[in-house]
Amino acid sequence: MHKIPLSVLELATVVEGGNLRSAIERTTEVAIHTESLGYKRIWMAEHHNMEFVASSATAVLISHVASKTNRIRVGSGGIMLPNHSPLVIAEQFGTLETIYPGRIDLGLGRAPGTDQLTAMALRRNNMNSTYDFPNDIKQLQTYFSKENSSANVRAFPGEGLNIPLWILGSSTDSAYLAAQMGLPYAFAAHFAPAQFRMAIDIYRKNFKSSKQLNQPYVMACVNVIAAETDVEAEFLSTSLIRLFVGLVTNSRKPIQPPGELPETFRIPAVRSAVNSMMACTFTGNSDTLRNKLSQFIAETGIDELMVSSNIYDKEAKLRSFSLLHESIDIK
């Protein structure tokens, strides 16, 4: 396997018996642990009106995690830009980059990260803001540029700072945009793998170089659950299956302990939906993961691997990141 950067996606998800504070503490421990292993970055994602997800104030959480670490890049996977004024995001991330220079990433998505009613509360009834997404990104780039120094509206902190922008995607729409703007592309294959290969193909074929990037750069986010044995990894993955069953059936719960799968998983439509969501899920011991992931990386030609690991037990979760590290030659 050729060397590849390894990164982490954390949603600060509550586990059964825990709370929002303990979820944030777990995310911080993951950041400290993966930094010690040489992981490149840890991203948090903006979600709203979700009782068991503690990453709604994403910039605040990024600052907290960055303050507890030293080298690992910390960023958003992503900020849902239609929920915000580009000026506010420029100021927030300009502030983060000023406090933690050379360590902040700004991944941008166009989805609301929530339900429609909450999206209306966030956007104050401006529900057409999704269509402004490309222009909002350009506005954000303008606020970060030195050339904006003569404008009437400027971002402080923010102006003149080099904060890498990423386009996030879970469909082919974002692939065209990332290619057109010459930005790195991060695909959410950990929950929406169906269009992954088509999207990265579109991105590479249509890519135009930019000030930020000379050639295409693809990061895939996948689920990885590693353990000492394949059997144990399969057992731990039942927590992830239960999480996806909750998403499909709209009966969300905290991350459950591993164990017997719910009766609803036996319903063909539910099982099919969950299995399709888990198409980019990799479980096993170090050797098994080395084989599975080397094949995946070779077939897709990705430039970086980001992993989401929804594991109930904290020590098992940290151990999973260590075993994954053993499986991959980190760049």
Segment 120-134 mean pLDDT: 74
pLDDT per position as a tens digit, 282-323? 999 999 999 999 999 999 999 999 999 999 999 999 999 999
Report all structural domains of the chain as residue ranges with CATH numbers, in order of start: 6-225+283-327 (3.20.20.30)
Categorize the per-residue pLDDT at 84 as very low, low, confident or very high, splitting at 50, 70 and 90: very high
Categorize the per-residue pLDDT at 206 as very low, low, confident or very high, splitting at 50, 70 and 90: very high
Segment 140-149 mean pLDDT: 97
The predicted structure's pLDDT at residue 331: 80
Sign of CA pseudo-dihedral 69, 74, 77, 83 = positive
Is the pLDDT reported for residue 111 higher than 90? no
The predicted structure's pLDDT at residue 330: 83
Q: How far apart are CA 218 and CA 5, in angstroms?
A: 11
The predicted structure's pLDDT at residue 92: 98
Give the tokens for residue 306: 């980001």
Q: Which residues contact 202 (CB under 8 A, 6 or more apart)?
A: 172, 175, 176, 179
- Residue 284, phi-psi category: left (phi > 0), alpha (psi -120 to 50), beta (remainder): left
Segment 97-118 mean pLDDT: 89
The predicted structure's pLDDT at residue 121: 80
The predicted structure's pLDDT at residue 173: 92
Round the average pLDDT of the chain to a whole number and report it: 95
Of 190, 254, 178, 156, the C-alpha closest to 45 is 190
The predicted structure's pLDDT at residue 130: 65
The predicted structure's pLDDT at residue 116: 79
When mean pLDDT is compared across 108-122, 168-182, 243-257, the lowest value belongs to 108-122
Higher pLDDT, residue 327 or 116: 327
Segment 128-156 mean pLDDT: 93
Segment 107-124 mean pLDDT: 79
The predicted structure's pLDDT at residue 209: 98
C-alpha distances in Å from residue 179, one per residue of 45, 71, 110, 207: 22, 29, 16, 4
Is the pLDDT reported for residue 114 higher than 90? no
Strand partners, 218: 185
The predicted structure's pLDDT at residue 45: 95
pTM: 0.95
Segment 32-53 mean pLDDT: 96
The predicted structure's pLDDT at residue 131: 73
Is the pLDDT reported for residue 149 higher than 70? yes
Helix (H) or strand (E) holding 306: strand 304-308
